[in-house]
Structure 1
Amino acid sequence: MGESGNVPPGVDPTVPSAARMYDYGLGGKDNFEIDRQIGDQMRAKFPQLSDLARGNRNCLIRCVEYLARDRGIKRFLDIGSGLPTQENVHQVIQRVHPDARTVYVDSDPTARVHALALLDGDPRTSFIQADAADPAAILNHPDTQELLSAGEPVAVLWFAVAHFLPDSADPRGAIARLMAAVPSGSVLALSHVTSDGIDPDVDRGFRDGGFYDRVPTPLVMRTEKQVAALFGGLPIVGGRLVEVGEWGRTDAGAPRTGTKPLRALFGYAVKP
C-alpha cells in the first residue's frame, strides 16, 4: 500500500488513520506515507508507543486463547478490529475450536478491504464496516444476528478502541447496549490507555505536537476509574484492571510501581 493505484475506494490517502498507524506500529505494510510520517513523529517523541502497541496485541492474543480454551467460548465479536495482521483473532480461536464463529467490526474502509481479502472462503468469519459508537448498526447487521442466534456466550472484544471515542460518542453506552444483547456467560474484554501513573507531560506533548489535530480519531486518555466505568457495573474479574503487558503472562513479575511514560490497562468481566 502507499501508491495511488493501490488506494481502496472511499479511502483518502492524505488523511491519517488510527488503524493504519497501529498497523505501522506493529511492523505492518498496510499503511500510507501520511500514517508513517505521523507515526514516526509520535515515536520520536514517545518511543514507548511501539512497545505499547505490541503489548496490547500480545494481550489480545493471550485473552482470546484463554477465552476459547479455558472458558470454551466459540463466538467472538471484535469491535474496532483494525487491519488484519499476524495471529488474527479468528485464527487464534480456530486453533482451539475449528468451528468457532468470529465477526470483525471496524469503520475504516481500508480495514474492510484487507479483511475481506483475508477472509475470502472462510464461511465462519465475517467483517462489518460500522462505527464502534453505533451499536444499532452492529446489532442489526445479519452477521451479528446470526452470531447471536445460537444463544451461546459471546466474547465482546474492545481492545484499544474505546480510547478513540470521546465522551460525546458515549462509549460506555455503546458497550452497555452490546452487552445487553448477548446471553448470560458472555464476556466483555477491554483494553484502554490511561492517564494514571504516566509522565504528566505525555498528554500535553501529544497536544503540543499537533497529533490530536491531525488524526480524525484522536486518543482520549482516561483515568483508571473512568476505564473501569466502561464496564457498566459488570464486575471485573480479579477486582481490578491490570497492565496489558502483565495479564496472562506466566513470566510476569511483581506489579510495577512509579511513573511510566505510557500505560494501557486491561480487564474482563463475565455477564451474569
Structure 2
Amino acid sequence: MSSATSGKPVPAYVDPTKASIARVYDAFLGGKDNYDVDRQVVRGVEKAVPEAKDLAVENRAFLIRACRFLATEAGITQYLDCGSGLPTAENTHQVVQRANPDSRVVYVDNDPIVLAHGRALLEENENTVFVAEDIFEPEKLLKNDVVRSRLDWNEPIALLQLGTLHHYNGEDTRTRKDIMGAYIDALPSGSFVAISHFLDPEDEYSATARKMEDMFLHSMMGSGTFSTKAELQELFNDLEMITPGLVRCADWWPDGPQDRDLNAAQRSIAGGIARKA
C-alpha cells in the first residue's frame, strides 16, 4: 500500500488498510493528507456519480457561511466543532475570529491523523483548542475538562455537527436523534445548532443518492448514510429553525446567484441552523 500523495512513509498510528473519514474528505477536497485506501473510496463513489466531490465542497462552503452567520449576525463567540476533520482552507476559527478575535473554538475529533496534524495546525492561538473525544458519546465529551473549562456553559454556544452524523453506525438503541438530544439538552439558552448531512432528495435524484450511499457503506470506510428531509429535521429536536430552514447546502444563503443547475451531488447534501430558546 503506497502512502500519501507526498510519498512520505505511513506513520505508525495510521492503519493503511482502512479508510479514514477525515482523510476521505481531504481527498475529496484535493488535499494531500490521504492514502490510496482513502482515494479508492473517492474513486468508487465517483464511479456512481462523477461529481461526488461536490458533497465535500458544498459541506465546506456551508460551514463557512454558517460560521459567518453565527459570528456576525448571531453574535456567538463560543463554538464546539464536532468532528473537525483535517485542516483545510477557512477553518471554523479562522472564519469566526475574523469577525471577533476573542471567539473561542473547541475542536473535537478522535481520528489519529487528525490528532497528529489537526492539533498543530488548528491550535493557532490561545482561543483555539483541540480535544480528543468520540463525538458520538456526548455525555463523555461534555464532561471533558477542556470542554467544560474553555467554554462558558452559562452563555450561548454554537454546536457544529457538519458532515458528521451520517457517519454514525451505532446500535439501534442509540439513534442520531438521541445523540443530538443529549447535546441540545446540555446547551445553554440562546445557543445554536448547525447540522449538515447527506440527503435523499426524494425526487428524480433519489436513486443517484442511494447509489452514492451504497458505495460509501460498502467501501473500506463503511459509513455514509443518506437520509430524507423529514429524518434530518428530527435531529434538531424541535428547535426554532433559522430562515431558510433545512435546505440543500447550496441553497442556504448562497454568496451569489446560482447561474447553473445543481448537480446530483449538490442536491444530495442538506444543512440548517436552529436556535435554542
TM-score normalised per structure 2: 0.88
Q: Supply the distance in 1 between the matched residues of 2:137 and 2:87 (Cα, whole angstroms).
A: 22
Task: Say whether residues 1:68 and 2:68 are aligned partners.
Answer: no
Q: Supply the distance in 1 between the matched residues of 2:206 and 2:275 (Cα, whole angstroms).
A: 33
Select 1:78's aligned residue among 76, 81, 84.
81
Alignment-derived partner of residue 31 in structure 2: 28
Residue 250 of structure 1, CA deviation = 4.2
Alignment-derived partner of residue 122 in structure 2: 119
Q: Supply the distance in 2 between the matched residues of 1:269 and 1:118 (Cα, whole angstroms).
A: 29
Partner of 2:196: helix, strand, or coil?
Answer: strand
Structure 1 window deviating more from structure 2 (105-114 vs 215-224): it is 215-224
CA contact (8 A) 2:78 2:104 kept: yes
Alignment-derived partner of residue 238 in structure 2: 233
Q: Supply the distance in 2 between the matched residues of 1:84 and 1:30 (Cα, whole angstroms).
A: 10
Alignment-derived partner of residue 183 in structure 1: 188
Task: Say whether residues 1:161 and 2:173 are aligned partners.
Answer: no
Structure 1 window deviating more from structure 2 (159-168 vs 56-65): it is 159-168
Residue 93 of structure 1, CA deviation = 1.1
Q: Which runs of 5+ in 2 are unaligned?
A: none
Q: Supply the distance in 1 between the matched residues of 2:116 and 2:28 (Cα, whole angstroms).
A: 20
Partner of 2:107: helix, strand, or coil?
Answer: strand
Amino acid at match of 2:249: V
Alignment-derived partner of residue 212 in structure 1: 217
Q: Supply the distance in 1 between the matched residues of 2:16 and 2:190 (Cα, whole angstroms).
A: 42
Partner of 1:53: helix, strand, or coil?
Answer: helix
Select 1:134's aligned residue among 115, 137, 145.
137
Alignment-derived partner of residue 192 in structure 1: 197
Select 2:100's aligned residue among 97, 102, 109.
97
- Write out per-residue CA displacement over residues 128-178 of structure 1, whole angstroms, 9 at most, x where no aligned residue: 222221002210111210233362211000111111114634221111111
- Write out per-residue CA displacement over residues 74-124 of structure 1, whole angstroms, 9 at most, x where no aligned residue: 100011111111111011111111111101112211111111111355221
Alignment-derived partner of residue 221 in structure 1: 226
CA contact (8 A) 1:79 1:105 kept: yes
RMSD: 2.5
TM-score normalised per structure 1: 0.89
Task: Say whether residues 1:243 and 2:248 are aligned partners.
Answer: yes
Q: Supply the distance in 1 between the matched residues of 2:159 and 2:30 (Cα, whole angstroms).
A: 26
CA contact (8 A) 1:18 1:217 kept: no
Select 1:202's aligned residue among 208, 230, 235.
208
Q: Supply the distance in 2 between the matched residues of 1:85 and 1:70 (Cα, whole angstroms).
A: 24
| Number of residue pairs aligned between Structure 1 and Structure 2 | 269
Q: Supply the distance in 1 between the matched residues of 2:153 and 2:168 (Cα, whole angstroms).
A: 31
